[in-house]
Amino acid sequence: MDSKKPARQSKPSVSASILAAVRNRHRRSATIERALRGDLLIASYNVHKCIGVDKRFDPDRVARVIGEIGADIIAIQEADKRFGERSGLLNLERLHRENSLIPVPVTSLYPQGHGWHGNLLLFREGAVRRVQQLVLPGLEPRGALVVDIDVATGPLRIIAAHFGLLKHSRQQQSEAILNAVAADPTRPTLLIGDLNEWRVGKGSSLHFLRPMFDPARNAVPSFPSRFPVLALDRILGHPHELVSAIEVHDTPLARVASDHLPIKAHIALKDALPALAVTDRASLAR
């Protein structure tokens, strides 16, 4: 009888997860050119309450980075003050004037606030059909915006979220997001935001998002902005083919404006609709 014990399956190490994310970042140059045929440019940006790595509060600098990105739809995290009146920190009139971006309307207890638990979603063109404001479970106050919007190439759902710092909370928040998608899985959906998880394997708290989303797909390092090694910010698609490529918006201004770099994704909405129909048929078969 063989007395050897079966080998344990090791959890992904910190260095392995970081290396995987860095490899994804370097692969982007080979795929971005092909992805430019996508319908939309989607972005996510944690603006760190407009406080840069130089400790300066500078909303104008953040606005210039948003202008650099040139996204059709952008999810902003930490757009409001966290305490007190929780007033908005960005000049929405300037963003509209210079970038044609307008905010998705939200209902807030704080009239001066821009977002929902700091989540602000801006879009250039389209018709907003529904806005749902989720209170996410966990020890910290967190939330997500679920927005159904019709753009020129078809229907789209955006879930703009900022997950918590604790792994158990992120697992609960992942479940809440899945419940929101399950209410109507027929609309192509993007989960966008600072999901506060650097792991990309089974040890990741985002693993609970599978199979609806694939957290390991297209993870690129965006934090810290000076030397990004952790893939905290994500743009995940349902179906997975919805996101054709992701890249980090890495410019001199972006490196100093916030402790996160923005990430941006090329979306092929018209290519995702047939894939979504196949996914729905497979779900019904089960």
pLDDT tens digits, 170-217: 999 999 999 999 888 889 999 999 999 998 778 899 999 999 999 988
Q: Is the peptide bond before 211 cis (omega within 30 degrees of 0)?
A: yes
Q: Is the peptide bond before 224 cis (omega within 30 degrees of 0)?
A: yes
Q: Given this model, what pLDDT does residue 111 score?
A: 72
Q: Output the furthest CA–CA distance in the chain (Å, rounded).
A: 77
Q: Given this model, what pLDDT does residue 10 score?
A: 46
**CA 66 to CA 60: how far, in whole Å?**
10
Q: Given this model, what pLDDT does residue 110 score?
A: 74
Q: What is the pTM of this model?
A: 0.84
Listed by start position, the domains of the chain span: 25-285
**CA 163 to CA 198: how far, in whole Å?**
12
Dihedral, CA of residue 18, residue 21, residue 25 and residue 31, to nearest 10: 160
Which CATH code fits 25-285?
A: 3.60.10.10
Positions in the chain whose pLDDT score sits under 70: 1-38, 84, 273-275, 277-286
**CA 228 to CA 71: how far, in whole Å?**
21
Q: Given this model, what pLDDT does residue 284 score?
A: 38
Q: Taking the alpha carbons of 232, 238, 240, 244 in that order, is the dihedral positive or negative?
A: negative
- DSSP state string for 154-199: EEEEEEEEE--SSHHHHHHHHHHHHHHHHT-TTS-EEEEEE-----
Choose among 147, 174, 156: nearest CA to 238.
156
